[in-house]
Copies of this chain bind each other. A is one copy, B any other.
Amino acid sequence: MTAPDPQTVRDWLIDLQARITDAIGSVDGQAQFLTDAWAKTPGEPLQGDGITKIMESGAVFERAGVGFSHVRGPKLPPSATQHRPELAGAPFEAMGVSLVFHPLNPYVPTVHMNVRMIAAVQPGQVPVCWFGGGMDLTPYYGFEDDCVHFHTVCRDALAPFGDDKYPRFKQWCDEYFFNKHRSEPRGIGGIFYDDFSGDTPTQGFALMQAVGDAFLPAYLPIVQRRVGMPWGERERDHQLYRRGRYVEFNLVWDRGTHFGLQSGGRTESILLSMPPLTRWAYQHQPAPGSPEAALLERFLPPRAWV
């Protein structure tokens, strides 16, 4: 068995992006995804290209971004090689799909999904590939059914790769998507993994495909269940306030966002994850016993959902 062919992975990622935007565009019905193909200019430290797809002011999605990117560089950055010091400085390529959807209805949760592959290519040697990614859910109002559904689809997607994967990747997700300055999880979790090669050269790609393919089945039924629920100013205020936590996590703690912004990545593509509208308020606390308080008390603290 050999490492996956980069062109095969690239084609699969571009197709995944198209499948997701087609489905999400249909669900929205009102807005359409704008497609922005970009390429790095010759002379920039990173070379490569990408396709940014973004939908704003939809009926269901206030802002939904899905980015594909594929970059090549002469030297693997240290942040990508902490577990592979022997590859530091090797020529590399990295490709992936990353998405964040911010729905308008506060009863529909925000979702994030990412799948990526990094390959280090040493002259005269077989390329070394590893994979990372995952998906996680950030509700504004907690519904047991939604959390159980999302985690069940995540667990089932990982089942073919061994029973250890879901518990490990679930815990990794809980630990990673955590606002340390608030001692507060970003959402109800999901799965997160990094530096994954698998037991065989093709397992990493197969797991990436399983995660990517599981995204729509994990998320769409939740959208369909919640999108008809009536909401008003109270729910909207709560949603805008909680979105501030999303901004805080992404700009302060998320290694990918922070590294991308500080190292000259494409800002507008990296910040697809920012919410369309966000508010901050001093010492804001939900009323005791309210559904808003239940989110913090019963849903955000890490739980075994399946």
Stretch of A78-86, A243-251, A292-300 contacting B (4+ beta carbons < 8 Å): A243-251
Contact A278–B281 (Cβ < 8 Å): no
This chain: copies in complex = 2
List chain B residues, Cβ under 8 A from A206: none
Number of interface residues of A (CB under 8 A): 36
Stretch of A3-11, A189-197, A269-277 contacting B (4+ beta carbons < 8 Å): A269-277
Q: A240-B277, A251-B251, A251-B252 are in contact. Are A282 and B258 (CB under 8 A)?
A: no
Central interface residue in A181, A247, A251, A264, by most chain B CB within 10 Å = A181
Q: A56-B281, A258-B252, A282-B56 are in contact. Are A274 and B181 (CB under 8 A)?
A: no
List chain B residues, Cβ under 8 A from A56: 281-282
Cβ-based interface call for A14 (8 A): no
A residues 276-306 touching B (CB-CB < 8 Å): 276-283
List chain B residues, Cβ under 8 A from A63: 280-281
List chain B residues, Cβ under 8 A from A270: 181
Cβ-based interface call for A234 (8 A): no
